[in-house]
């Protein structure tokens, strides 16, 4: 199908973009999620404010142990190593598993997080890495912890007059151990169950269970999962009582495999 | 809805098109510019038939908004006539029976060319992974994968 009519605006500055959004315009980033919604007429906005040409929209900067990734940074740029260091290595591996290269060439990390599809990859991975989403509103920037940013299905902590400006992740030491498992039956599909496991030296490991038609479940202290993955994965999954047997099995297996991939306890 | 003017470079030529703001790039290419080599399958990013190059990188023209391509450089299958890698791929596709009805072929070729140039060391598993976003209802993919591998192998030999 073709989209319903809308008008198209291309703001050249962030204040201008914020004004448009406050007036009800729908932000457009890579349009790799918005495009299908428009074509299927699931979204019928009056106006689209195209963020792609805003200054400093894409790009990566490292400062004081934090990597700031502009919301407009594409999955492909991250796949190709735009984020430096150990955390960049981890993110490049994740990016390669998102959709297909032509989609990754346009789809952005900010668009993906703001879209908040429970099955999306950054929605699962960013809470595991820690850090924050940087929201820009009429009163300036504010930080929202990644672990609590997605609060429902297609629902985030962003206010109606805010834009996602950037995503921040911590610089990770070379010894950081990472495990990630995404269940999908075909390359590039949305996940049916995703688990992440991150172990930093001298700290309790963190885990995330996601893509279960629910916001991601963040386990701040996953020491038990590392010690006894089978029993603990089964216990964690009881947080999703509505899952059928098949989905529950995927979720448990994803958790166990994420731990395994991180090199176990 | 008032039409908007979109200026872009298509296959090396500057073009100016009056389009509806709601149009996707593929509509502009096929309807306004009569470049019907770019095909439309699913119109939601899944099948790959509409894949073209935008600013040098493969992209889905069915979900790339036309307005946002103002100022961009777009290359469709019609624009690869003189391209040496594409010439090799065309020959390999023909040799390996990598097409039947041809509906998927323009998108397949644009993605295959990107794989050949971006991942010169790709093996069969990687080629299958990279081509997974392009659906073919006819060939069963074996010929397509072989064709891409054939071009990769020939280029490695002559590197
Ligand atoms: C075939 C296909 C397969 C896919 N598979 C996967 C997959 O396996 N895993 C995965 O994670 N994703 C997948 N995706 C989605 C893809 O990753 C998208 O790139 C991403 O979800 C949206 O990013 P975008 O930049 O295209 O945002 P857009 O589509 O432009 O926007 C998405 C939503 O976010 C809003 N928005 C965008 N930017 C901002 C901002 N800065 N501030 C506030 N709101 C904003 C928009 O208004 C819109 O509601 C797939 C997409 C396709 C077409
Ligand atoms: S028509 Fe664009 S991906 Fe199917
Ligand atoms: S050749 Fe017919 S769809 Fe691929």
Query: Of the ligands numbered here, which is closest to the C-alpha atom of B93?
Result: 3
Of the candidates A3, A36, A102, which has its C-beta nearest B111's C-beta? A102
Quick one: B29 and B53 in the same domain?
A: yes
Tokens 């315009």, located at residue: A25
pLDDT of the residue at B1: 73
Q: pLDDT (tens digit, 9 = 90+) per residue, A126-150?
A: 999 999 999 999 999 999 999 999 9
Last residue of one domain, picked from the residues B53, B79, B105: B79
Q: CA A25, CA B113: separation in Å to the nearest integer?
A: 38
Quick one: B153 and B90 in the same domain?
A: yes
pLDDT of the residue at A1: 81
What is A60-170's CATH number?
3.30.465.10
As given in the structure block, the two tokens for residue A208 are 């995330």
Number of A–B residue contacts, CB under 8 Å: 100
Domain with CATH 3.30.465.10 in chain A: 60-170
Of the candidates B21, B128, B134, which has its C-beta nearest A6's C-beta? B21
For chain A positions 19-38, those within 8 Å of chain B (CB to CB) are 28, 31-32, 35-36, 38
For chain A positions 109-168, those within 8 Å of chain B (CB to CB) are none
List per-residue pLDDT tens for chain B, 159 residues long. Answer: 789 999 999 999 999 999 999 999 999 999 999 999 999 999 999 999 999 999 999 999 999 999 999 999 999 999 999 999 999 999 999 999 999 999 999 999 999 999 999 999 999 999 999 999 999 999 999 999 999 999 999 999 987
Query: Of the ligands numbered here, which is closest to the C-alpha atom of A18?
Result: 1
What range defines the domain where residue B72 resides? 4-79
As given in the structure block, the two tokens for residue A146 are 């990644």
Residues B89-92: contacts with CB within 8 Å, 24+ apart?
A: B89/B113, B89/B116, B89/B147, B89/B148, B89/B151, B92/B146, B92/B147, B92/B148, B92/B150, B92/B151
Q: CA A71, CA B57: separation in Å to the nearest integer?
A: 20
User: For chain B, what is the domain count?
Assistant: 2
At A78, is the secondary structure helix, strand, or coil? helix
Quick one: B147 and B90 in the same domain?
A: yes
E-strand ranges in chain B read 4-10, 13-19, 51-54, 57-60, 73-75
pLDDT of the residue at A197: 98
Q: pLDDT (tens digit, 9 = 90+) per residue, A176-190?
A: 999 999 999 999 999
Model-level pTM?
A: 0.97
B132: which chain A residues are within 8 Å (Cβ-Cβ)?
Answer: 100, 186-188
Last residue of one domain, picked from the residues B79, B107, B142: B79
Residues in contact with A94: Cβ distance below 8 Å, sequence separation at least 6, in sequence order: A78, A121, A122, A125, A180
pLDDT score of A156 more than 80? yes
Q: Domain A7-50 adopts which CATH fold?
A: 3.30.43
Asked if B61 contacts B88 with a C-beta cutoff of 8 angstroms, the reply is no
Domain with CATH 3.30.43.10 in chain A: 7-50
- Helical (H) or strand (E) element with A170: strand A163-170
Quick one: B90 and B128 in the same domain?
A: yes
Domain with CATH 3.30.390.50 in chain A: 178-261
Nearest CA to ligand 2 atom 3: B45
Band of the pLDDT at A264, cuts 50, 70, 90?
confident
Q: Is B58 within 8 Å of A76 when comparing Cβ atoms?
A: no
pLDDT of the residue at B159: 76
Q: pLDDT (tens digit, 9 = 90+) per residue, A173-230?
A: 999 999 999 999 999 999 999 999 999 999 999 999 999 999 999 999 999 999 999 9
Band of the pLDDT at A265, cuts 50, 70, 90?
low
Query: Of the ligands numbered here, which is closest to the C-alpha atom of B59?
Result: 2
Last residue of one domain, picked from the residues B57, B79, B101: B79
From A76, which residue of chain B is nearest by alpha-carbon distance? B57
By most ligand atoms within 8 Å of CB, the mutation choice from B48, B105, B132 for ligand 2 is: B48
Cα distances from A15 to residues A47, A54, A72, in angstroms, run 17, 10, 16
> Is B125 at the interface with chain A, CB within 8 A?
no
> What's the CATH code of the domain at B62?
3.10.20.30
Architecture category of domain A178-261 in CATH = 2-Layer Sandwich (3.30)
Residues in contact with B153: Cβ distance below 8 Å, sequence separation at least 6, in sequence order: none
Quick one: B130 and B107 in the same domain?
A: yes
DSSP string, A30-42: S-TTHHHHHHTTS
Cα distances from A123 to residues A111, A146, A167, in angstroms, run 11, 9, 12
């Amino acid at each position: 199908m073709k989209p319903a009519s809308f008008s198209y605006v291309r703001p050249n500055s962030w204040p201008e973009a914020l004004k448009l959004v406050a007036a009800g315009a729908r932000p457009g980033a890579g349009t790799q999620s918005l495009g299908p919604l428009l074509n299927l007429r699931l979204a019928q906005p009056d106006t689209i404010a195209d963020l792609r040409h805003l200054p400093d929209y894409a790009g990566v900067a490292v400062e004081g142990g934090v990597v700031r990734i502009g919301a407009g940074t594409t999955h492909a740029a991250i796949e190709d190593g735009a984020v430096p260091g150990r955390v960049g290595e981890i993110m490049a591996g994740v990016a390669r598993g998102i959709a297909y290269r032509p989609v990754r060439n346009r789809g952005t990390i900010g668009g993906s997080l703001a879209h908040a599809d429970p099955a999306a990859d950054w929605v699962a991975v960013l809470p595991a890495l820690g850090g924050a989403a940087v929201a820009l509103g009429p009163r300036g920037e504010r930080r929202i912890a990644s672990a609590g940013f997605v609060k429902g299905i297609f629902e985030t902590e962003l206010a109606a007059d805010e834009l996602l400006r950037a995503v921040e992740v911590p610089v990770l030491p070379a010894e950081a151990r990472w495990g990630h498992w995404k269940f999908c039956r075909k390359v590039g599909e949305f996940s049916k169950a995703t688990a992440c496991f991150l172990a930093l030296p001298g700290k309790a490991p963190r885990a995330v269970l996601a893509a279960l038609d629910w916001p991601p479940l963040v386990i701040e202290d996953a020491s038990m999962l590392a010690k006894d993955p089978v029993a603990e994965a089964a216990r964690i999954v009881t947080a999703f009582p509505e899952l059928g047997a098949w989905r529950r099995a995927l979720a448990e297996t994803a958790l166990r495999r994420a731990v395994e991939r991180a090199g176990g306890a | 809805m008032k039409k908007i003017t979109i200026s872009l470079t298509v296959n090396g030529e500057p073009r100016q098109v009056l389009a509806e703001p709601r149009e996707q790039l593929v509509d502009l290419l096929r309807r306004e510019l009569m470049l019907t080599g770019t095909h439309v399958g699913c119109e939601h990013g899944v099948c790959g038939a509409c894949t073209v190059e935008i600013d040098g990188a493969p992209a889905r023209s069915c979900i790339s908004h036309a307005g946002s391509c103002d100022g961009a450089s777009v290359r469709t299958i019609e624009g690869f006539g003189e391209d040496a890698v594409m010439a090799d791929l065309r020959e390999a596709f023909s040799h390996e029976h990598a097409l039947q009805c041809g509906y998927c072929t323009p998108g397949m070729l644009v993605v295959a060319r990107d794989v050949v140039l971006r991942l010169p060391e790709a093996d069969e598993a990687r080629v299958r992974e990279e081509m997974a976003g392009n659906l073919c209802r006819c060939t069963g993919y074996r010929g397509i994968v072989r064709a891409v591998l054939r071009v990769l192998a020939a280029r490695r030999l002559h590197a």
